[in-house]
Amino acid sequence: MRLASVVVILWLIVGAFAAGQRDYYSGPVDNCNKLATIAVTIVAGPLNYVGMNPKIACETPQPSK
């Protein structure tokens, strides 16, 4: 159990580092697309370095008129 926890933490740290290298942390988070892309890049972890470049497109619901 302890080894699995260490692996998961290292996986997420590598993903956060990859998101930083792609400049996802620069500037404000304007919409859910950027936030979702940052999150999926962190979750992808080391897969970012073998060619995976996850991007998410989402739409926030608009208020009715």
Tell me how far apart the alpha carbons of residues 40 and 54 are, in angstroms, rounded to a whole number. 7
Tokens 């996850």 appear where? 54
User: So what's the pLDDT on residue 21?
Assistant: 92
Q: Is 42 helix (H, G, I), strand (E, B) or coil?
A: helix
pLDDT in tens, the chain (65 residues): 799 999 999 999 999 999 999 898 888 888 888 888 899 999 998 988 888 888 888 877 778 87
Asked whether the whole model's pTM tops 0.75, one would answer yes
